[in-house]
């Protein structure tokens, strides 16, 4: 219902799971530097709206999760021209 109210909103399906965020710096030579992965505490309130309750840097993640995130960043880097 909220997506219909905001014409400029990006509507995406809710996928259950752990909330993480990642940032990286990308250089013109194709190299990149991954920042620490952050955990986020996000809940849906009684009206169906998302609420952010803080986070933790760095997030406690497994080696497999870190490798997966690095793979995602590597794929993003490959799409950046230059």
Can you give the pLDDT of all 82 residues of the chain as single tens digits? 555 556 667 777 778 888 999 999 988 888 889 999 999 999 888 888 888 899 999 999 999 999 999 999 999 888 888 6
What was the pLDDT predicted at 4? 58
66 contact partners, CB below 8 Å, separation of at least 6: 37
> First-to-last CA distance in the chain?
40
DSSP H/E element including 34: strand 32-34
Q: What is the DSSP letter of 24?
A: E
Question: What span, in angstroms and rounded, lies between the C-alpha atoms of 2 and 32?
Answer: 36
């Amino acid at each position: 219902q909220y997506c219909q109210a905001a014409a400029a909103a990006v509507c995406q399906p809710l996928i259950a799971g752990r909330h993480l965020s990642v940032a990286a710096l990308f250089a013109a030579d194709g190299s990149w530097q991954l920042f620490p992965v952050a955990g986020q505490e996000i809940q849906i309130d009684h009206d169906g709206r998302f609420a952010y309750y803080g986070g933790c840097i760095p997030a406690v993640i497994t080696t497999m999760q870190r490798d997966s995130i690095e793979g995602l960043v590597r794929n993003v880097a490959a799409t950046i021209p230059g």
